[in-house]
Amino acid sequence: MAGNLSSTVAPVSSSLSRLQALNGLFAVYKKQGPTSADVLNALKEALLKEAGVQNPNPRKRRKQSLKMGHGGTLDSAASGVLVVGVGNGTKMLSTMLTGSKKYVAVGELGKATDTLDATGSVILEKDFEHITRPDVEAKLKAFTGDIMQVPPLYSALKKDGQRLSVLLKKGHKVEAKPARPVTVYNLTLLEFKPPLFTLDIECGGGFYVRSLVDDLGKALSSCAHVKELTRTKQGQFTLQEHALREEQWTLEHILRSLQCCSEGELEPEPPEAET
């Protein structure tokens, strides 16, 4: 019996050791629906199961068998690139939070929601028939470069240790955070088919696409909210070339795409934050 036991344990131990030896960054595709934390937990569970760990609990933080984090929250309704740090790679995630990102956003004119996206309740409706494509393109110029932006109330930003979105859902009154400096490197109108319009956005850390679309609607003497949002690039990771789909969440696929980190690149590990 002892011989049989050791022969079954050894491969599991070997697979888990390979997994725990990973250090670096890679990207996965986050679909619409789950939170970024849900995606991270599903990824950890898939990898631990592949390594032979029985009944893995990715949410259990004590004595973690696999150290992993992500570099900036995507809203549950959004999809696209989610950068993941594994092992010492988690210490590099601060560069993902502050670095450049690209998004494609579909906005809808004429309706504003409490969350600034399609998941919320409509709180205002206004006419939009007067808005033309040149109008939108002209207003976009004011949102390019170094600007000041007020973050959404429904966000991952925290007050007294709790996320604002959680406090709002509990019925607490929450005051808007003050405007803060953000950078928009490029902002282009890709398509204009009222009430829908599509923006291509390249921005720095701390920028909220939902706030941009809300502010743009107001600037056009109407209102607007985000209908769809896709992150197409984060740092050096692109949606087309680097983001691993769910069926690719295996050790071999990660080994092929992992960008390893050297000791000189390591930085203090940041808290997770929405960008």
- Please, what is the Cα angle at 78 between 20 and 222, to 5 degrees? 155
Write the DSSP assignment of 81-139 as a string of letters.
Answer: EEEEEEGGGGGGHHHHHHS-EEEEEEEEETEEESSSBTTS-EEEE---TT--HHHHHHH
* Contact between 264 and 270 (Cβ < 8 Å): no
Predicted model pTM: 0.84
Where in the sequence of the chain do the CATH 3.30.2350.10 domains occur?
Answer: 101-232
List per-residue pLDDT tens for the chain, 275 residues long.
444 433 444 445 688 899 999 999 999 999 999 999 999 999 999 999 999 887 777 666 545 578 999 988 898 999 999 999 999 999 999 877 778 999 999 999 999 999 999 999 999 999 999 999 999 999 999 999 999 999 888 765 545 555 555 555 555 566 666 899 999 999 999 999 999 999 999 999 889 999 999 999 999 999 999 999 999 999 999 999 999 999 999 999 999 999 986 554 444 443 333 44
Active site residue 117: no
Which is catalytic among the residues 38, 75, 117, 127?
75
Query: Which architecture characterizes domain 101-232 according to CATH?
Result: 2-Layer Sandwich (3.30)
